[in-house]
Structure 1
Amino acid sequence: MISSSFPSPAKKLALAVVTEPERAVPAPVGVGEEAMRTLLGTAADAGVSVVATRPIGDTERLLGQAWPFPSPFSVTVRTVALSEGLDRVEARARRSLERMGLPRGDTLLVSRATDLAGAEGRDLWDRLQALKDRGLYRRIGFVTTLEDGPALLARRFQPDVIEMPCNILDQRPVTEGVLSDLAARGIDVHVSSVFARGLLFASREALPAHLAGQGVALSRTRRRLAEARVDPMQAALAYCLGLPPVTAVVASVASAAELRAVLAAAHAPRPDLDWEELALSEPAAISTGSVARISNAA
């Protein structure tokens, strides 16, 4: 079930700043920092209060140089993969705070739920719990997919936060009751991949090989949105922002211009759509294998 309103869409948005070369145009020294300040200033002015980061690229350093003062943002950090070793996971989580110039972070997430399911899963979780106990992070949790069995992992580890993909093409976390079950356990639920990794905006010719069979279904979804005169970005955000169990909707942006487009779509009047009709008949295909992001939306 989807709520018809929310006090302010921006309050439910979490900002994932992207600086990878395929999204952000390389800039001379100093320009990147100024662009980040503009982006964060735009987010702060709009009421966005959560910034989600990953320990890759130069994003953390740029954020550390560009925070507004006083900063209104709570920061969510992801771990490196367990394959790098337990000591590296802990050290990198500390280093993320140092790079961003923060004494503490709000949330630390295991980047892959499969790391928790392995032999060292409990040891990994204990490392995160120790960082929480020392006050370096207020909350801990993990990033998961439906296929990882998030409910089972939640019962085992009792996380504060869980992040997982959910969008109008793959509504299984909603229709199978997973989001509601997690929220009922007192877990803060964050959703990502709200634009289905760019599939909502991709032409049939641009689809990866394993999704070629979904071309007709994707065209049908886009046609229904066009007939309703609803922009795909607007529909995608309206769907996720309207989910009562969800406390944060993670949207990635590479510039202030992209953020303004996201904010405009989020604040647009909520469309009257039959959401279930927009879902793919075989949504699991989206999460099969390694799917490259197809457009600037993530």
Structure 2
Amino acid sequence: MIPSRAQIPVDKLALAVVHAPDRAIPAPAGAREESLRFLLQTAADSGVNRIATRPDGDSERWLGQAWPFPSPFQVTVRTVPIADGVDRVEARARRSLERLGLPRGDTLLVSSASDLAGAEGRALWDRLLALKDRGLYRRIGFRATIEDGPALLARRFQPDVVQLPLNMLDQRAEHSGVLSELAGLDVAVHASAVFAGGLLFISGEALPPEMHRHAPTLSRIRLRLAEARIDPMQATLAYVMGRPEVSAVVTSVGSAAELRAVIAAAHAPAPALDWAALQLEPATAMAAAGPNSQGRGRVSSAA
């Protein structure tokens, strides 16, 4: 029997490719496709084999035209909102595979937990189960925030995967027990919003208006990291990747250069930090507000 390969940091990485002009390296007209191919080839060469997509604009089609051959990627697809009905959701999930140029996908996620909580939630889930039974998707699940009560939804629908926001500044999923509850239900957890909307990389007036009151706390956290000689990207990746319940860490990248920076940070030695002291507000206080509260310490929603 051949022993399994020990897990390395890139095993947990899942890439959400950002096509926004302000995130991509400036390039001549017509070079976008080549830049995307280079990014995906860099990922494949580095051992990253997960890609997370969203059904917006032409992003799926661009990816489908840029995969390395043969493609090594396991692809996660999101549904469109249920507002147009479950028929539309199913048709678009099938269409996503066509646009991506794939015979099947790895995971299909309901874009918002509120779609499952509504009157057509069960009908929607049954459509996803049918797609899984037909072999179009290997796993199904949903995206949620802590306020959605993801563990309760997981007990009701028995998903394979739940995607949650989790980062060093917002540790509620860990300290409220949600991660351990989902693990106990044999649900794979995909962590999103791992960089907390970039809050560790901006300061002062550049912060979103609603975050200005947190500026002193963010400054203290940056100072602690600087004193420990730890880069903020390294720290937040180490926190999320260090959670044993998390099977995938979704990080957005806009270029091969950004990807290389993420991979380098992921491979850096795990720092010995007091994680609880580095959250924006005490997780226990945020969790005490209950799963339906907006929570003053909410950093960001799922990416």
Structure 1 unmatched ranges of 5 or more: 1-5
2:261 is matched with 261
Q: TM-score, normalised by structure 1?
A: 0.92
Displacement of 1:26: 6.7
Any conservation in 2 of the 1:77–1:93 contact (CA below 8 Å)? yes
- Whole-Å Cα distance in 1 between the matches of residues 126 and 40 of structure 2? 33
- Whole-Å Cα distance in 1 between the matches of residues 26 and 110 of structure 2? 29
1:42 is matched with 42
State which drifts further: 232-241 or 84-93: 84-93
- Whole-Å Cα distance in 1 between the matches of residues 278 and 121 of structure 2? 37
Any conservation in 2 of the 1:132–1:140 contact (CA below 8 Å)? yes
Structure 2 unmatched ranges of 5 or more: 1-5, 287-294
- Whole-Å Cα distance in 2 between the matches of residues 132 and 47 of structure 1? 27
Displacement of 1:24: 2.9
Displacement of 1:29: 5.1
Displacement of 1:72: 1.0
SS of corresponding position for 1:138 = strand
- 1:198 matched to 2:198? The reply is yes
Give 4+ residue runs of structure 1 displaced > 6 Å after superposition.
none
1:273 is matched with 273
- Letter of the aligned partner of 1:82 in structure 2? I
1:3 is matched with none
- Whole-Å Cα distance in 2 between the matches of residues 285 and 206 of structure 1? 20
Q: TM-score, normalised by structure 2?
A: 0.90
Displacement of 1:93: 0.7
2:92 is matched with 92
- Whole-Å Cα distance in 1 between the matches of residues 170 and 130 of structure 2? 35
Structure 1 residues 40 and 9, CA, compared in 2 at 3 Å: closer, same or farther? same
2:171 is matched with 171
1:53 is matched with 53
Displacement of 1:58: 2.1
**Count of matched residue pairs:** 287
2:77 is matched with 77
- Letter of the aligned partner of 1:112 in structure 2? S
Q: CA RMSD in A?
A: 1.8
State which drifts further: 30-39 or 278-287: 278-287
- Whole-Å Cα distance in 2 between the matches of residues 61 and 187 of structure 1? 30
2:131 is matched with 131
Any conservation in 2 of the 1:183–1:245 contact (CA below 8 Å)? yes
Any conservation in 1 of the 2:74–2:106 contact (CA below 8 Å)? yes
- Letter of the aligned partner of 1:139 in structure 2? R
- Letter of the aligned partner of 1:61 in structure 2? R
SS of corresponding position for 2:179 = helix
